């Protein structure tokens, strides 16, 4: 008997995080799972906030070292060119292009596309709220005086600003947020190339402080927001797909 043809690579390589459940869980079961994971999630949130708080203390010192590297201060250097490409991996053109490729070449692309879109939407809302509330100037505002600045130099308090200016809305990094929301979602959905997706996300976040647009803690906070949004989006979409199968 002839062997049945294998499924498409996109299905073979799809890890459990992005598979539609074969046995649909009921809403109560989903809520129980969320409640069971709540203590672990709370612990991770506390650790993440602690990591950001510690890094804030060293932001100025790190940026002093960054500004002392000639290849990073020269806008025409190959290194800066590579960092610019990584930065663009979280901009609208790249997001639209990746979405189109997923829809065109993956049989389940619509499901993956919705997961990524939900992750991007949630992370964008959280990041923009942070930028509106947290008043922090970007490192390029201290380009010529970074060597003399204390670690608290960029902070100007908390107050809601519906019309913020880019120069004083550094925290968190929007590019880092979008990069982790998109590329980590793809890494969870496609086994092949997942480490490449992770490297793109990390590279994009790193490019923001290496190019003097953000402080390192801005990028870490954005990465954590995007990572969390990715996990939430996949969990919600899996539960939604399961409930749809019950109907």
Domain-wise residue ranges, the chain: 27-246
Question: What is the per-residue burial (b if ≥16 Cβ within 10 Å, else e) of 95-123?
Answer: beebbeebeeebebbebbbebbbbbbebb
pTM: 0.82
The whole-number mean pLDDT for each consecutive block of 10 residues of the chain, a chain of 247 residues, reads 46 52 54 64 82 90 88 87 93 92 90 93 93 88 81 74 72 95 93 91 95 93 94 81 46
């Amino acid at each position: 008997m002839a062997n049945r043809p294998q499924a498409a690579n996109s299905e073979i390589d799809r890890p459990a995080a992005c598979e539609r459940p074969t046995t649909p869980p009921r809403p109560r079961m989903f809520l129980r799972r969320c409640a069971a994971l709540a203590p672990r999630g709370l612990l991770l949130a506390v650790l993440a906030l602690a990591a950001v708080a510690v890094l804030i203390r060293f932001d100025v010192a790190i940026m002093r070292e960054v500004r002392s590297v000639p290849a990073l201060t020269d806008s025409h250097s190959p290194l800066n060119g590579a960092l610019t490409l990584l930065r663009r991996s979280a901009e609208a053109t790249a997001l639209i292009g990746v979405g189109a490729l997923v829809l065109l070449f993956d049989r389940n692309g619509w499901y993956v596309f919705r997961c990524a879109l939900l992750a991007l939407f949630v992370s964008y809302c959280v990041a923009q709220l942070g930028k509106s509330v947290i008043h922090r100037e970007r490192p390029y505002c201290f380009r010529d005086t970074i060597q003399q600045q204390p670690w608290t130099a960029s902070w100007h308090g908390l107050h809601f600003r519906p019309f913020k200016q880019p120069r004083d809305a550094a925290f968190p990094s929007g590019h880092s947020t979008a990069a982790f929301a998109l590329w980590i979602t793809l890494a969870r959905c496609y086994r092949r190339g997942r480490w490449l997706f992770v490297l793109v996300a990390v590279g994009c976040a790193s490019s923001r402080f290496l190019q003097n647009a953000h402080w390192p803690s801005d990028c870490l906070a954005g990465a954590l927001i995007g990572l969390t949004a990715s996990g939430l989006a996949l969990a919600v979409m899996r539960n939604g797909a399961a409930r749809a199968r019950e109907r």
